[in-house]
């Protein structure tokens, strides 16, 4: 367990500012998406293995609780994707740009792009949820 | 003036180097695949319009099946390899890593197989 303690205290106490936060966020969002994907592949496979139960699985996705989680999932995927592209670009194409000021700037751009994609997507998903689950907007 | 030059033998890429490269190359491929899937299913279509018939209609076209097959192959392998990288930071003993690597490999194999069988078998009618 000492490894767990060392790694976790390192995560919490290291002060790498923007780079550190984006590292942590990249980890958490990647793990969250991966966990979702395991469940998602299994529920999609119901169409073949248990077609009678597929609708039950989808009904869970339509619940208000999942509707909120979905907004979070979309944030995770967008942030992880945009930030991952940033990492891949610097590593594969322009490693000479790995400097602290450039990272401070590019992590902020990453967050901005993520929010620009996420806010309209969330608005549409929230609209759908209010329309179908709460009867708003004439639903 | 003399210049000092030093020749560095590039080491042969080992498994970790290849997995590092895989994470980055798959990343570039995953952007259109995952973003496209997510924007389509969550935002444009929405879960309230997804049901058995919806999947049946989509999988009737081979193009979407190939798309989903690429998604299954790359997104999940990327994700499981990512989990492995994270766990490597927590588990440092050789024995622990061996168990963890095999565990994740089996998880990847079984879940990918289930997804692939569904994708090839297609939607079955409700009995
Ligand atoms: C003994 C170990 C380490 C030392 C001595 C060290 C030292 C430094 C220093 C001096 C900087 C520049 C910081 C600044 O000007 O704000 C830096 C930046 C950074 N370090 Fe470390 N570091 C260590 C370990 C780590 C680890 C384990 C990680 C990953 C979890 C990490 C991730 C980063 C990142 C992402 C930055 C960029 C921060 C930024 O953009 O401000 N470092 N490190
Ligand atoms: C949308 C496109 C995606 C891009 C551009 C992308 C990019 C990346 C990159 C470049 C890394 C390596 C980071 C590093 O080694 O420092 C990474 C790690 C990771 N990715 Fe992705 N990824 C994407 C989608 C996904 C998906 C769909 C999942 C889940 C199934 C996922 C799960 C992970 C995990 C768990 C890690 C390990 C995180 C860590 O080591 O801190 N990624 N991603
Ligand atoms: C909550 C948001 C999501 C919804 C509503 C959704 C919906 C669907 C649906 C309806 C299918 C069935 C086939 C089709 O119509 O193409 C499917 C398959 C699939 N989705 Fe998603 N998806 C979501 C998020 C994701 C994410 C984030 C990923 C990747 C990280 C992903 C990866 C896959 C894969 C790999 C398949 C094929 C599964 C198989 O072969 O069994 N999905 N998705």
The pLDDT assigned to B37 comes to 96
- List the domain boundaries for chain B: 16-121
Percent above pLDDT 90 for chain B: 84
Q: What is the pTM of this model?
A: 0.84
The pLDDT assigned to B71 comes to 97
Could you tell me if B80 and B108 are in contact, meaning their C-beta atoms sit under 8 angstroms apart? Answer: yes
Regarding predicted confidence, which is higher, A72 or B5? A72
Range of the domain at A124: 16-138
* Structural domain includes residue A11: no
Look up the CATH number of the domain holding residue A62.
1.20.1300.10
Nearest ligand (C-alpha, residue B59):
3
Burial label, A4 (beta-carbon count in 10 A; 0-12, 13-18, 19+):
exposed
Contact residues on chain B for A52, CB-CB shorter than 8 A: 126-127
Phi/psi for A127 (5° steps) reads -55, -50
* Structural domain includes residue A5: no
**Which of A85-94, B8-17, B99-108 shows the lowest mean pLDDT across its residues?**
B8-17
B1, pLDDT greater than 60: no
Sorting pLDDT into bands at 50, 70 and 90, what band is B2?
low
- Which class would CATH give B16-121? mainly alpha
B115 with A41: Cβ contact below 8 A: yes
Split into its structural domains, chain A has a count of 1
Burial label, B40 (beta-carbon count in 10 A; 0-12, 13-18, 19+):
middle
| Interface predicted TM-score of the whole assembly (ipTM), two decimals | 0.88
* Structural domain includes residue A38: yes
């Amino acid at each position: 367990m000492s490894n767990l303690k060392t790694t976790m205290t390192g995560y919490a106490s290291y002060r790498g500012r923007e780079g550190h936060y984006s590292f942590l966020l990249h980890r958490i969002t990647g793990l969250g998406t991966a966990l979702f994907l395991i469940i998602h592949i299994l529920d999609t496979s119901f169409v073949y293995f248990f077609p009678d139960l597929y609708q039950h699985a989808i009904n869970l996705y339509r619940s208000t609780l999942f509707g909120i989680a979905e907004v979070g999932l979309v944030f995770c995927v967008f942030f992880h994707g945009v930030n991952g592209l940033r990492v891949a670009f610097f590593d594969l194409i322009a490693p000479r740009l790995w400097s602290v000021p450039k990272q401070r700037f590019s992590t902020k751009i990453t967050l901005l792009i993520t929010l620009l994609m996420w806010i309209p997507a969330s608005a549409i998903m929230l609209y759908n949820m209010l329309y179908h689950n709460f009867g708003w907007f004439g639903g | 003036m003399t210049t000092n030059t030093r020749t560095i033998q590039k080491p042969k890429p080992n498994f970790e180097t290849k997995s590092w490269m895989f994470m980055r190359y798959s990343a570039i491929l995953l952007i259109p695949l995952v973003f496209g899937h997510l924007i389509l299913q969550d935002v444009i279509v929405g879960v309230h319009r997804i049901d058995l018939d919806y999947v049946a209609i989509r999988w009737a076209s081979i193009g979407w099946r190939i798309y989903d097959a690429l998604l299954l192959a790359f997104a999940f392998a990327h994700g499981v390899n990512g989990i492995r990288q994270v766990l490597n930071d927590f588990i440092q003993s050789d024995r622990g890593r061996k168990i963890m690597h095999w565990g994740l490999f089996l998880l990847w194999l079984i879940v990918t197989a289930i997804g692939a069988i569904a994708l090839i078998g297609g939607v079955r009618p409700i009995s």
